[in-house]
A = this chain, B = another copy of it.
Amino acid sequence: MNDLNVRKMQKSDIGVVVNLLADDELGRVREDKAKVVHADYFRAFECIDSDVNQYAAIFEINGEAIGCLQITFIPSLSRRGSLRGQIEGVRVSSDFRGKGYGTKMIAWAITKCRDRGCRIVQLTSDKRREHAIQFYENLGFVKSHEGFKLTLNSMLE
């Protein structure tokens, strides 16, 4: 597992990241996999890249990007002003699943949150992702909360 390298996502990674996001039974219908990456992805990347409370990570093996995730650091007043680390957009390339890389990626993210001073790490997972839910439980996460979403408008209009 020492072959897994982590680095900050760069603009040049976006095409690969869109493929990773779409390489998924739920992501397939949510992402725009046109040959030319949609400008919305670049706009979102600029927002993430310029925000000190965001960290988008790329995980690679021998220079090939095989996974990604995003951490958002959220200052909050509740729980005596606890900083929270929130993990989203976790994907492992289908060719590399079931090999323990996801565990290493989340372990890295937890350490990143701890180093930043977070008291809580949080994430949500679609209830249809049974494997992912078992995966996070095995890592010690507690599914104590309901995760609610409200879609404001069609995203691929």
Residues of A within 8 A of B (CB): 14, 17-18, 21, 27, 30-32, 38, 40-45, 47-48, 51, 53-54, 56, 70, 72, 74-83, 86, 88-89, 110, 113-114, 118-127, 133, 136, 139-153, 155-156
Contact = CB atoms under 8 A, between A and B. Distances in A.
Nearest to A43: B81
Contacts of A149: 120-122, 141-142, 144-145
Number of identical monomers bound together in the oligomeric complex? 2
B147 A122 contact: yes
A70 B79 contact: no
A73 to B, nearest CB: 9
Contacts of A40: 80-82
Q: Which of A18, A53, A144 has the most CB of B within 10 A?
A: A144
A82 B121 contact: no
Nearest to A132: B146
B146 A124 contact: yes
Contact of A76 (B38, B88, B120): B88
Contacts of A123: 148
Contacts of A140: 150
A14 B81 CA distance: 11
Nearest to A153: B119
